[in-house]
Copies of this chain bind each other. A is one copy, B any other.
Amino acid sequence: MIPSALIRLTKSPIRPETYRKTLEDPGSGGVALFEGRVRDDPGHHATRLYYEAYSPLALRELERLSRQAATRFGARRIVIVHRLGHLRTGEIAVFIGVATAHRTKAFAACRFLIDELKRRVPIWKTREESRTKR
């Protein structure tokens, strides 16, 4: 089975409901989703972050991760969207959704994707005050 994977880096706000259709699949009984959001650090003012990516390599690496999630966990539908640019508290930095036949593997695949994204994909966040123009 070749999974359907939608992978995107975007400067626009992420609206997860946009990707609902992509995750529909009559053979999937479990859909695990994750939203990574900018949060207020305790003791800080409202957080402002700048996200940047080495886009061509980031996209290729995310595609590799998707293929691995399909092979290892039987992921049937995958969505990975990462926001770039300036973000404030409460905004979604990353959205991941995985549909699989059963729930255990949906959780495992979703967890795998966000953990490996953080480890292997060339995307960075920096605090806004130290930003320079790109």
Contacts and interface: CB of A to CB of B under 8 A. Distances in A.
B35 A33 contact: yes
Given A107-B107, A107-B111, A39 B34 contact: no
Nearest to A47: B26
Tell me the number of copies of this protein: 2
A13 interface: no
Contact of A29 (B27, B31, B39, B106): B39
Nearest to A89: B26
Interface string A45-60: 0100000000000000
Instruction: Classify chain A: how many residues form its interface, as a range.
Output: 20 to 34
Nearest to A114: B103
B38 A29 contact: yes
Contact of A33 (B27, B28, B33, B111): B33
Interface of A: 16-17, 20, 24, 26-40, 42, 46, 89-90, 101, 103, 106-107, 110-111, 114
11 contacts: A16-B17, A24-B90, A27-B40, A28-B39, A29-B38, A30-B36, A32-B33, A33-B33, A34-B103, A36-B103, A107-B111
